[in-house]
């Protein structure tokens, strides 16, 4: 990524507008990867302000954004998460979800309807929020996010986040004490991780079940 940035950032075509925005986004990703979260946020803000000079964290849902704009906002939430400012991160993710629903998923106008990028981001945010709410034991919110993510993934024939969504559904049911149905989702999750070639993940969660989720073991015997 750094080599690509060096190659293009001094090119006149990449010193303004959307191309410069891509440069800032790329730099933000690099800084996040190096755990320089504050520096990454600075690049994110430079990038998003190119597209929308009125952008603030409190007005996310009031505007439409390009694909790179959506990606930058998502990156902002990730950095706040790493900076342990979880309330800010949750707000950004929730607002980003509402934004995509309002302007892209439910748009009445063909020209504004969601493309594959915003659809994938929509599912990814639902998956992430479901995981976050599960960790915080906010089970109703978690269930809403997980179910919406599964339904939309099926509708769009999108398998990318389905293994994690199904695994989160298993953990949700386990937390609610519905061990028999939880076991069914556990088996489905294992199968999906294998289907998408995430063999190490499938092995890890199979092993973890013996320690972390013992109540489902008797239901797994029939599988």
| Domains of the chain by residue range | 1-85
Q: Is the pLDDT of residue 114 over 60?
A: no
Q: Is the pLDDT of residue 78 over 70?
A: yes
Distance CA 177, CA 139 (A): 12
- Indicate the pLDDT class of residue 117, thresholds 50, 70 and 90: confident
Q: Is the pLDDT of residue 70 over 60?
A: yes
Distance CA 65, CA 13 (A): 21
Q: What is the pLDDT of residues 156-192, one digit of tens each?
A: 999 999 999 999 999 999 999 999 999 999 999 999 9
- Per residue, what are the HEC states of 136-187? CCCHHHHHHHHHHHHHHHHHCCCCCCHHHHHHHHHHHHHHCCCHHHHHHHHH
Distance of CA 15 to the CA centre of its chain: 30
- Residue 114 is given by DSSP the state -
Q: Per this entry, what is the length of the chain?
A: 223
**The pLDDT of residue 115:** 79
Q: Is the pLDDT of residue 98 over 50?
A: yes
Q: What is the pLDDT of residues 23-68, one digit of tens each?
A: 999 999 999 999 999 999 999 999 999 999 999 999 999 998 999 9
**The pLDDT of residue 113:** 53
- Find where tokens 């599960």 sit: 134
Buried b / exposed e along 48-75 (16+ C-beta atoms within 10 A): bebbbeebeeeebeeeebeebbbbbbbb
Higher-confidence residue of 152 and 6: namely 152
Q: What percent of the chain has pLDDT over 70?
A: 96
Q: Is the pLDDT of residue 110 over 70?
A: no
Under a CB-based contact definition with an 8 Å cutoff, are residues 89 and 41 in contact? Answer: no
**The pLDDT of residue 102:** 87
- Find where tokens 């750094």 sit: 2
Judged by DSSP in three states, 35 sits in coil
Distance CA 186, CA 206 (A): 9
- Indicate the pLDDT class of residue 111, thresholds 50, 70 and 90: very low
**The pLDDT of residue 3:** 84
**The pLDDT of residue 222:** 67
Q: Is the pLDDT of residue 194 over 70?
A: yes
- Find where tokens 């190490």 sit: 200
Under a CB-based contact definition with an 8 Å cutoff, are residues 168 and 130 in contact? Answer: yes
**The pLDDT of residue 104:** 81
For all residues of the chain together, what is the average pLDDT?
91
């Amino acid at each position: 990524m750094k080599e690509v940035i060096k190659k293009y950032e001094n090119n006149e075509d990449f010193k303004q507008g959307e191309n410069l925005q891509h440069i800032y986004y790329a730099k933000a990703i690099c800084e996040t990867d190096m755990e320089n979260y504050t520096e990454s946020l600075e690049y994110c803000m430079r990038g998003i302000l190119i597209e929308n000079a009125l952008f603030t964290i409190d007005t996310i849902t009031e505007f439409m954004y390009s694909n790179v704009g959506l990606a930058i906002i998502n990156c902002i939430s990730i950095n706040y998460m790493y900076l342990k400012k979880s309330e800010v991160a949750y707000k950004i993710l929730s607002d980003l979800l509402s934004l995509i629903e309002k302007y892209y998923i439910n748009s009445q106008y063909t020209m504004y309807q969601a493309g594959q990028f915003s659809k994938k981001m929509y599912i990814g945010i639902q998956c992430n929020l479901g995981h976050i709410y599960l960790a915080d034991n906010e089970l109703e919110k978690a269930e809403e996010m997980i179910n919406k993510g599964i339904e939309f993934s099926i509708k769009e024939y999108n398998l990318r986040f389905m293994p994690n969504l199904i695994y989160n559904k298993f953990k949700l049911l386990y937390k609610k004490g519905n061990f028999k149905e939880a076991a069914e989702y556990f088996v489905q999750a294992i199968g999906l991780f294998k289907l998408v070639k995430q063999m190490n993940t499938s092995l890890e969660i199979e092993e973890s079940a013996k320690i972390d989720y013992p109540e489902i073991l008797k239901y797994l015997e029939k599988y």
